[in-house]
Amino acid sequence: MFEVVIPKVGMSVTEVEITKWKVKKGDKVNKDDEIVEITMEKANTILTSEVSGIVEEILFNEGDTVKVGEVICRIRTE
Average pLDDT, the chain: 94
For residue 45, the number of C-alpha atoms closer than 13 Å in the C-beta half-sphere is 13
With beta carbons less than 8 A apart as the criterion, state whether 50 and 73 touch. no
pLDDT range class, residue 1, cuts 50, 70, 90: very high
Q: Which amino acid is at 68?
A: V
pTM, to two decimals: 0.89
* DSSP-assigned beta bridge partners for residue 23: none
| Extents of the domains making up the chain | 2-77
Classify domain 2-77 at the CATH class level.
mainly beta
The pLDDT score that the predictor gives to residue 40 is 87
